[in-house]
């Protein structure tokens, strides 16, 4: 016998909650499967995508929580390192574009260790994690810069065997 509690329909809600819990357990179990083997996407969905990774700590937390794809904004520093930063760097002398500063200068100004794409690739290599790289080529008007950017990024991707784990995008409305 089902007794009606103080909230009409509570028993029905309880059943729905149990079904959701069962589904959540199935989703959690599916996050143990790599997102991709480099050729195929491994289902079932949903796929957890972590947006705007800018530190190793964020990457670790995202992976610990089942992320199968990490999105990073890739910018090239003056000393040739790719860092994960969305926009400009605010310095004591005004805003600077990432390509105007070294990685060390950026870390000093921001007071944190910025995520280096080489460290990211090293961390996720051979783990079936896909990367969405939002390429930030804000210096595309400088002769030769875009070619350098593409060449260095391609070298980094091939060095870490990430060719089949990269999704790349670019927006053209940069400052």
d(C-alpha 140, C-alpha 137), whole Å: 6
> How would you write the pLDDT of the chain (175 residues) with one tens digit per residue?
333 334 344 343 333 333 333 443 444 444 456 666 667 766 656 677 888 888 889 998 988 888 888 999 999 999 999 999 988 899 888 999 899 999 999 999 999 899 999 999 988 887 788 888 888 877 777 888 888 888 999 999 999 888 888 888 766 555 4
Which helix (DSSP H) or strand (DSSP E) does residue 157 occupy? helix 145-159
Residue 16 is predicted with a pLDDT of: 33
DSSP lists the bridge partners of residue 135 as 74
Q: For residue 142, what is the DSSP state?
A: S
- The strand ranges marked E within the chain are 49-50, 69-76, 82-84, 89-91, 94-96, 130-135, 166-169
- Name the one residue in this structure whose structure tokens are 């409305």: 173
Name every residue whose Cβ is closer than 8 Å to that of residue 95 and which is 6 or more positions away in sequence. Answer: 88, 89
The two tokens of residue 143 are 């002769």
Helix pair angle (56-64, 117-124), 10° resolution: 30
d(C-alpha 39, C-alpha 45), whole Å: 17
Q: Cβ–Cβ contacts within 10 Å for residue 73, how many?
A: 20
3-state secondary structure of 62: helix
Name every residue whose Cβ is closer than 8 Å to that of residue 20 and which is 6 or more positions away in sequence. Answer: none
Read off the pLDDT of residues 24-35 as tens digits, 9 standing for 90 and up.
Answer: 344 444 445 666
Residue 154 is predicted with a pLDDT of: 92
- Is the full-model pTM beyond 0.75? no
Residue 68 is predicted with a pLDDT of: 85
């Amino acid at each position: 016998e089902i007794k009606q509690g103080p909230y009409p329909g509570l028993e029905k809600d309880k059943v729905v909650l149990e079904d959701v819990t069962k589904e959540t357990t199935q989703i959690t179990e599916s996050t143990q499967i790599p997102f991709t083997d480099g050729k195929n996407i491994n289902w079932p969905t949903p796929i957890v995508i972590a947006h705007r990774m800018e530190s190793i700590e964020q990457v670790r937390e995202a992976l610990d929580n089942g992320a199968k794809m990490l999105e990073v904004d890739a910018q090239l520093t003056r000393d040739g390192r790719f860092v994960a930063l969305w926009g400009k760097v605010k310095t004591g002398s005004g805003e600077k574009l990432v390509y105007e500063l070294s990685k060390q200068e950026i870390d000093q100004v921001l007071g944190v260790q910025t995520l280096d794409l080489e460290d990211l690739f090293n961390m996720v290599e051979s783990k079936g994690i896909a990367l969405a790289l939002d390429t930030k080529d804000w210096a595309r008007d400088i002769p030769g810069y875009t070619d350098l950017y593409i060449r260095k990024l391609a070298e980094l991707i091939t060095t870490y065997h990430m060719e089949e784990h990269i999704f790349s995008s670019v927006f053209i409305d940069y400052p």
